[in-house]
Chain A
Amino acid sequence: MADLRVNLCGVPLKNPVIGASGTFGYGREYNEFFPVSRLGGVSCKGTTLEERLGNPPPRIAETPAGMLNSVGLQNPGVKRFISEAIPFLKKQGTAIIANVAGSSVDDYRRIVEILSDTDVDMIEVNISCPNVKEGGVQFGATCAGAEEVTKAVRAVSKKPLMIKLTPNVTDIAEIAAAVEAAGADCVSLINTLLGMRIDIRTRRPILRNNTGGLSGPAVLPVAVRMVWQVANRVKIPVVGMGGIAKWQDAVEMLLAGASAVQIGAANFTDPFTPVKVLEGLERYLDDNGIEKVGDLVGKVQPW
């Protein structure tokens, strides 16, 4: 049996499969399908200092091989995240990854400071949400913005920091290099790609927010390319996501240079996707005589 364990900047994961932020709640619902303790970790819904109500509905639109969402970071705020979500996840025995967002650099600093004194294992800093006017992508879209947030959270964090990058930029590797220089422990990518769909009958966008973030299998090749570019540019670990729906996709992502993967929208098609990815990955390693999953990371042989 191959060794699936991964050490992600000091955080031991029992395997490299993580539920992606915003698609997996706080693990509670999918735990009704299978024990979430099977997973390497759960990246929780994006959390802000204060409660956020989110965007008006409709928030979901189907697309060819994927979907758009414009949830807009609806969450109960960091206090309730700490009192309600962390104790539940702590009991399950899987790595707890908090995912945070803010409207200002100071928001990011304060929320990371607060979460530093909790039982979360790692903090994923979302500077890439396309669905809110403030608190996301305005920081992640430029090197200067990404660097400023990373420096601010680095100064106060007692937890490993994973900066989550947006694909809605010209050169994602450049942003990754900037956050590495500013002290990030690892990066995760990709967040959703900005998209839009229109109801041809009403001539209205399907999403009340007009635009939303695209995810699901449609984005896989974009994500694999970006993970590859980033992994070639930085020395810190890369966590890959975007369109993973089956174990073969996860293997691609690892070969491209991801040390671990997150699974998002595919959970909606099949709630057992993470478990199936895990089982397939294990079989693949065994069939190919690969002793540990880490031996696969970045092993693509580019032309």
Chain B
Amino acid sequence: MKYLQEICPILSKRQVTELAFDITVSAPQMAALAKTGQFAQITCDGFFLRRPISICDFDKEKGTLRFVFEVRGEGTEWMSTVKEGETLDIIGPLGRGFEIVSGEGQAVFVGGGIGTPPLLSGASMYGKNATAILGFRTAKAVILTEDFAAAGAKVMLSTDDGTAGHCGLVCDLLLERLENGPCDVIYACGPKPMLKAVAAIAAERDIPCKVSLEERMACGVGACVGCAVKTRTPKGEERYAQVCKNGPVFDAKEVVW
């Protein structure tokens, strides 16, 4: 695995909800290596640690990376203030992504809130064979549904308060989708309780399931063992794996929830 650092000019920046921003940067070397589900570490001015943000999409020809992030604290607050024409210091592409090889078969992508961005490039690979089940707090927090639709995916939307789409959980929609058609694989990213529930549904039906996890990081490359997540080895032993290097995408069966 090759890691790169680039000082990336911001080509476009858009505020997409009250808290979420969508930026595209020029990063030709990283874009050339990027794979779906990988992430990058972004320097925020005045902060010691970089912030891990998923690569939402990449364009190898144009040499660009796209990030969609939500303001959660001081670092992402700073990121929300950058302007087109300025630069971001980014290292990447990092981690093991979804490892989608062909995009054949029927795939269901389950995203919760700010967990939806890392699924977009994977859904594009499946195109019409993808269903994107996306859940948000409320209508105003909905992001990326048009992008998933443009990628060819059938989009199913839910909100906690019913202000858009189904009122309730993504898992309701997942069960509905699984009733109504074949599914060869599930890819999921979002809050841990959601992932746990998705993993349980997949396990009951013996559907392969990949989940993208979050943990606080320092190096982001596998050198510090800071980003631990408990996993089970094939022999049944519990171990801490590194989210940044062994993940962020894990087989749902490996994760000790």
Contacts and interface: CB of A to CB of B under 8 A. Distances in A.
Given A32-B1, A54-B225, A60 B218 contact: yes
A30 interface: yes
Contacts of A54: 225, 228, 240
A158 interface: no
Interface residues of A, number: 38
B50 A268 contact: yes
Contacts of B217: 60
A69 B3 CA distance: 23
Interface string A159-176: 000000000000000000
Interface stretch (A20-28, A91-99, A225-233): A20-28
Contacts of A221: none
Interface string A208-228: 000000001100000000000
Nearest to B215: A57
A45 B3 CA distance: 20
Nearest to B75: A62
B223 A29 contact: yes
A33 interface: yes
Interface size class of B (residues with CB under 8 A): 20 to 34
B48 A60 contact: no
A272 B7 CA distance: 13
A63 B218 CA distance: 12
Contact of A59 (B223, B228, B245): B228
A23 B224 contact: yes
Contacts of A74: 225, 228, 240
B221 A32 contact: yes
Interface string B125-144: 00000000000000000000
Interface in A52-111: 53-67, 69, 71, 74
Interface of A: 22-25, 28-30, 32-33, 45, 53-67, 69, 71, 74, 206, 216-217, 265, 267-272
